[in-house]
């Protein structure tokens, strides 16, 4: 009873920020993302009656007890769905350094949802896989699909209407995403803790909720009409609003460092010079810069010149789940 699946990371264009139900990972707002071609997680799962507990091996190392407990909690759901009680050995590998500042929980739980259900003999479609991946990490529900993806928040309390679906295939509109690494030091406030603290304490969170649905609808329109300038300006503003909520939290926190600001300034100066480039930032200091393929080399070169930029990775829209 073994299966292997691969899923790619995604970056949010309109952020998922805040939960209305923490145990079911139900979001406060709709979100939108691009699945990236360059970074992926490959996960093999084997269930066996011979195992007394689950084992999780991440990048060839036995995972910590905290990570192991999260995986077991997730596999308990899969066991519950299948009616089987066997434990599993899970081997997961990222093709990018886990400490390099790229979210691995999205690709990780998408790959785990696919490999574990197949290995235990369930045959789930993408919608059910998206709902299951969501229960490991919210943003993972979007990594089931390639290209441009929306996560509809849903209204129901049981989460049955909260899942991702494709908006555009990657091949329908090729954009470039320059992923800019400014530090690989692990962040002190996780996205899970950060969004919880913000929902509970930030007076700016209501401002987020007041404007995010319009951002989502306008960004989707811009995607469908291939309007890059409109898309760029909305996603940049949406990222800034998300980060602004953290400054109002109690205790306050901030994901940026000074190099983050250097990248923001450089993107603004590229635009003044006539190159359309726009930034977005997830829950950490690293920046993703969106541009059109004709400008990708110029954008990358200008960002690499910044003294505090450690590395840049050029990405394009990537594929959804694959089974190996």
Q: Closest distance between ligand FM0 and the C-beta of residue 75, in Å? A: 17
| Alpha carbons 301 and 282: distance in angstroms, whole number | 22
Q: Closest distance between ligand FM0 and the C-beta of residue 153, in Å? A: 11
Q: Which is nearer to ligand FM0, 3 or 167 (CB)?
A: 167
Q: Which is nearer to ligand FM0, 137 or 312 (CB)?
A: 137
Q: Closest distance between ligand FM0 and the C-beta of residue 207, in Å? A: 17
Cβ partners under 8 Å of residue 169, min gap 6? 146, 147, 148, 317
| Alpha carbons 68 and 62: distance in angstroms, whole number | 9
Q: What is the DSSP string of 6-51?
A: EEEEEEEEE----EEETTTTEESS-EEEEEEEEEEEEEEEEEETT-
Q: Closest distance between ligand FM0 and the C-beta of residue 139, in Å? A: 3
Tokens 């929902």: give the residue: 199
Contact 263, 182 (CB under 8 A): yes
Q: Which is nearer to ligand FM0, 4 or 9 (CB)?
A: 9
Alpha helices in the chain (DSSP H): 65-82, 105-119, 126-134, 191-201, 205-224, 228-247, 258-272, 296-304
Tokens of 54: 């689950």
Crossing angle (nearest 10°) for helices 126-134 and 65-82: 140
Q: Which is nearer to ligand FM0, 3 or 164 (CB)?
A: 164
Question: Residue 231: is it exposed, middle or buried by C-beta count within 10 angstroms (0-12/13-18/19+)?
Answer: buried
Q: Closest distance between ligand FM0 and the C-beta of residue 52, in Å? A: 28
Q: Closest distance between ligand FM0 and the C-beta of residue 32, in Å? A: 8
Binding site for ligand FM0 (CB under 6 A): 12, 15-17, 25, 31, 103, 105, 137-139, 191-192, 282-283
Q: Closest distance between ligand FM0 and the C-beta of residue 239, in Å? A: 8
| Alpha carbons 200 and 38: distance in angstroms, whole number | 35
| Alpha carbons 276 and 106: distance in angstroms, whole number | 28
Tokens of 224: 């469908």
Q: Which is nearer to ligand FM0, 47 or 74 (CB)?
A: 74
Q: Which is nearer to ligand FM0, 130 or 137 (CB)?
A: 137
Q: Which is nearer to ligand FM0, 108 or 232 (CB)?
A: 108
């Amino acid at each position: 009873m073994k299966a292997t699946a691969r899923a790619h990371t995604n970056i949010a264009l309109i952020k998922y920020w805040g939960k209305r139900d923490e145990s079911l990972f139900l979001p406060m707002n709709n979100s939108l993302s691009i699945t990236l071609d360059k970074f992926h997680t490959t996960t093999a799962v084997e269930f066996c009656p011979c195992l007394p507990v689950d084992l999780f091996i991440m990048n060839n190392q036995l995972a910590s007890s905290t990570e192991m407990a999260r995986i077991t909690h997730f596999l308990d759901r899969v066991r519950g769905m299948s009616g089987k009680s066997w434990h599993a050995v899970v081997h997961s590998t990222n093709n990018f350094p886990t400490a390099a500042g790229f979210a691995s929980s999205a690709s990780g739980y998408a790959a785990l949802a696919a490999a574990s259900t197949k290995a235990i003999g369930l045959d789930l479609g993408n919608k059910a896989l998206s709902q299951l991946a969501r229960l490991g990490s919210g943003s993972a529900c979007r990594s089931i699909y390639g290209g441009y993806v929306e996560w509809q928040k849903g209204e129901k309390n049981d989460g049955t209407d909260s899942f991702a679906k494709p908006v555009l295939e990657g091949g329908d509109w090729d954009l470039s995403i320059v992923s800019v690494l400014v530090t690989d030091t692990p962040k002190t406030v996780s996205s899970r803790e950060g969004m919880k603290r913000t929902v509970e304490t930030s007076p700016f969170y209501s401002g987020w909720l007041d404007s995010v649905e319009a951002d989502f609808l306008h960004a989707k329109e811009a995607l469908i009409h291939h309007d890059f300038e409109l898309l760029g300006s909305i996603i940049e503003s949406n990222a800034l609003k998300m980060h602004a909520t953290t400054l109002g939290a109690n205790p306050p926190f901030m994901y940026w460092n000074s190099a983050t600001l250097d990248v923001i300034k450089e993107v603004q100066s590229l635009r003044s010079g006539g190159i359309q480039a726009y930034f977005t930032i997830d829950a950490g200091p690293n920046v993703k810069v969106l541009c059109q393929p004709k400008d990708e080399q110029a954008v990358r070169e200008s960002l690499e010149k910044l003294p505090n930029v450690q590395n840049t990775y050029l990405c394009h829209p990537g594929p959804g789940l694959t089974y190996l």
